[in-house]
């Protein structure tokens, strides 16, 4: 880490890389990987050697279970299919979204509806059905006796409102199920950026472990240190990172111009 004190400002526009874990029995078994690890190694091997160096996690001939949805889960499904997996299942704890806008999700809010992405089409074409299964909670991983994962025990749930009107899920008795799997990919989102920078600089973080900085200003609790993108707002699309990075650059420029008022031709 550079000594940022010698710079006039420090703009942190890093992404999120701390993956959310699934601490259930059997999580130490071989064959269980974070989605980011799986995708990163695949991309590097593809670019370096067109997957000829073998330095990636292969899904070829594997029964793959992807836990979690979103764009990351989508990429895991598509990549596994291209590797040549023998089956693919995508488990999601939440309920299946409606096909059309719900009454409380009117325009101009982002439409929270069921979407069929490229990987879902590919899975349906190869295996005959959409790979997604909703309202499923993972209970434990089952090993083969040699330290490798061979199956996953799950239970189906349903969502209900509690006394405070907050949704909670309840397990459905008798709905337990064993799903065979020798490759499990965890795509359950991210907890925040790496802690190294925050710890070294003393940056404050919010309840989701992101760097605390007000949108529009992007300044943190440390003078001259700015935060933008995923590390500030949480996991999102690259277009948000680009937008916030540009806005943060404007705020940095204002900060520098206020701090250094020496005319340009005399510097």
pLDDT tens digits, 131-167: 999 999 999 999 999 999 999 999 999 999 888 889 9
pLDDT at 226: 92
Helices (runs of H) and strands (runs of E) counted in the chain = 6, 13
Give the tens place of pLDDT for each residue, 12-69: 555 445 678 899 999 999 999 999 999 999 999 999 999 999 999 999 999 999 999 8
User: What gap in Å lies between CA 249 and CA 230, rounded to an integer?
Assistant: 15
Residue 127 pLDDT greater than 80, yes or no: yes
pLDDT at 179: 98
59 C-beta neighbours (distance < 10 Å), count: 24
Query: Confidence band (pLDDT; 50, 70, 90) for 113?
Result: very high
Query: Confidence band (pLDDT; 50, 70, 90) for 197?
Result: confident
User: What gap in Å lies between CA 267 and CA 263, rounded to an integer?
Assistant: 7
Higher pLDDT, 251 or 143: 143
Higher pLDDT, 256 or 67: 67
Distances from the Cα of 104 to the Cαs of 97, 109, 148, 167, in angstroms? 13, 9, 45, 15
Q: Please give the mean pLDDT across all residues of the chain.
A: 88
In this structure, of 47-61, 76-90, 106-120, 135-149, the range with the lowest mean pLDDT score is 106-120
Q: In sequence order, which residues have a C-beta less than 8 Å from that of residue 47 and are 6 or more positions away?
A: none
pLDDT at 20: 83
183 beta partners: 64
221 neighbors 123 (Cβ within 8 angstroms): no
pLDDT at 259: 60
Calculate mean pLDDT across residues 100-110. Answer: 91
Calculate mean pLDDT across residues 248-266. Answer: 71
Residue 6 pLDDT greater than 60, yes or no: no
pLDDT at 17: 55
Nearest C-alpha neighbor of 95 from the set 63, 41, 133: 133
């Amino acid at each position: 880490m550079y000594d940022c004190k010698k710079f006039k400002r420090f703009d942190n526009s890093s992404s999120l890389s701390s993956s959310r874990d699934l601490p259930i029995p059997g999580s130490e078994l071989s064959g269980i990987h974070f989605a980011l690890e799986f995708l990163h190694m695949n991309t590097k091997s593809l670019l370096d050697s067109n997957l000829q160096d073998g330095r990636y996690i292969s899904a070829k001939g594997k029964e793959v279970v992807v836990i979690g949805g979103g764009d990351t889960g989508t990429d895991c499904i598509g990549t596994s299919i291209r590797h040549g997996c023998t089956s693919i299942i995508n488990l999601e704890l939440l309920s299946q979204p409606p096909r059309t806008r719900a009454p409380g999700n009117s325009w101009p809010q982002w439409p929270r509806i069921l979407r069929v992405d490229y990987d879902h089409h590919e899975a349906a074409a190869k295996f005959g059905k959409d790979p997604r299964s909703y309202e499923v909670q993972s209970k434990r991983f089952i090993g083969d006796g040699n330290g490798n994962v061979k199956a996953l025990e799950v239970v189906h749930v349903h969502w209900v409102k509690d006394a405070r009107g907050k949704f909670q899920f309840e397990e459905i008795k008798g709905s337990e199920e064993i799903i065979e799997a020798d490759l499990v990919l965890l795509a359950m989102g991210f907890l925040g950026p790496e802690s190294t920078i925050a710890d070294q600089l003393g940056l404050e973080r919010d309840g989701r472990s992101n760097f605390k900085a007000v949108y529009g200003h992007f300044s943190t609790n440390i003078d001259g240190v700015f935060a933008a993108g995923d590390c500030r707002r949480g996991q999102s699309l690259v277009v948000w990172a680009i937008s916030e990075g540009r806005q943060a650059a404007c705020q940095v420029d204002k900060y520098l111009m206020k701090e250094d008022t020496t005319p340009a031709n005399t510097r």
